[in-house]
């Protein structure tokens, strides 16, 4: 069996992932805003990154996490 992870470790990992995904989403959005002719695959990547970010924010809210703690 694997090592049991405590809630604090999982919460910290979740926050780190949220910050990482936020950066990726903002970077893709910036590229798409500055593109003369955005491609459909670029729009898809932007939507996917946004969906992942929002999903993790909802998970953090469900876990009552705050980055200010």
* Residue spans per domain, the chain: 7-32+40-62
Give the pLDDT confidence score for residue 38 in this predicted structure: 85
What pLDDT band is residue 27 in, cutting at 50, 70 and 90? very high
CB-CB neighbours of 42 under 10 Å: 14
Average pLDDT, integer, range 52-69? 87
pLDDT greater than 70 at residue 9: yes
What pLDDT band is residue 68 in, cutting at 50, 70 and 90? low
Task: With CA atoms as reference, report the closest residue to 17 among 60, 47, 48.
Answer: 60
Residue with tokens 């939507």: 47
């Amino acid at each position: 069996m694997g090592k049991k992870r405590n809630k604090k470790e999982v919460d910290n990992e979740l926050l780190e992932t949220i910050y990482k995904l936020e950066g990726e989403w903002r970077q893709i959005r910036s590229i798409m805003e500055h593109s003369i002719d955005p491609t459909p695959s670029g729009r898809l990547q932007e939507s996917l990154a946004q969906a992942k970010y929002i999903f993790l924010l909802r998970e953090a809210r469900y876990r009552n996490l705050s980055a200010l703690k």
